[in-house]
Amino acid sequence: MLESSPTPEKPSKRKVTKKVRKNKKSLAASPTITGDMTAEELAFLKAIDDFKRKNVRPFPTWREVLSILKSLGYSKVENGASPSESDDREEIPEDLT
């Protein structure tokens, strides 16, 4: 009598589902995130968001962030020059610049 070899079990076929983001609004359009931002901060956020959409990339590199800042007109302030009068935030320490 021939012995039948055990048949290998087939892997279970689980239904694979993907989470689909139904609302593809821009992050810059979210009132909960942008509610307390200045116009300058909103412009920066929009520029980053536009870059990500144009280049189909979720995260820009730091070099790309720097180029986005430069495209918005920002530049490094030379030593001895005072920052904008409207900026009431803490200054970046010299050792970090």
Q: Give the residue with greater pLDDT, 63 vs 4.
A: 63
Q: ∠ at Cα 59 (54, 65), nearest 5°?
A: 80
**Which one, of 44, 22, 20, lies nearest residue 33 by Cα?**
44
Q: Which residue type occupies 59? A: F
Q: What is the pLDDT of residue 77?
A: 87
pTM value? Answer: 0.50
CB neighbour list of residue 45: distance below 8 Å, 6 or more residues apart: 27, 28, 34, 37
Res 95: pLDDT: 58
pLDDT tens digits for range 41-72? 999 999 999 999 999 999 999 999 999 999 99
| Residue 24 confidence (pLDDT) above 70 | no
Q: What is the pLDDT of residue 55?
A: 95
- Of all residues in the chain, the percent with pLDDT exceeding 90 is 39
pLDDT, position 83: 60
